[in-house]
Amino acid sequence: MRRYTLSRNPMHALSLKLCSSAPNPKMPVKTVKVSIKGRVQGVFYRKWTAENAQELGLKGWVRNRRDGSVEALFSGEPSSVEEMEKRCRRGPPASMVTGLNVSPVDEDPGDGFQLKPTV
């Protein structure tokens, strides 16, 4: 992120000065594991989830489970994770979500967002 400050310069009324600022390493991060039940397999739920998570800048993964549910891990800025939870309650157009369970976790989300194989 770039930060600018205004300074007085005898040659100009105002000048814009670029201030170096490193990313804030203490930015809060929220990580949750989500289990989604209902008609969520065979309706592109995983692909839809990955696209939405990437749009929100989240890290993590999504996978189908043999019991017919979808499981996902989302990690990122708390407001983005909460928005993703809301989106998962609706799902893609062909889905019908009947249950959503969200649990906070300390799991490493990895880099980017991945589609994982069924477990």
Torsion of CA 89, 92, 93, 97, to 10 degrees: -30
90 catalytic per annotation? no
64 catalytic per annotation? yes
Q: Which of 3, 8, 39, 46 is catalytic?
A: 46
The C-alpha angle with vertex 81 and arms to 78 and 82, in degrees rounded to 5, equals 85
Residue 49 is inside which H or E element, if any? helix 45-55
Q: Which of 64, 65, 89, 90 is catalytic?
A: 64
Active site residues: 46, 64
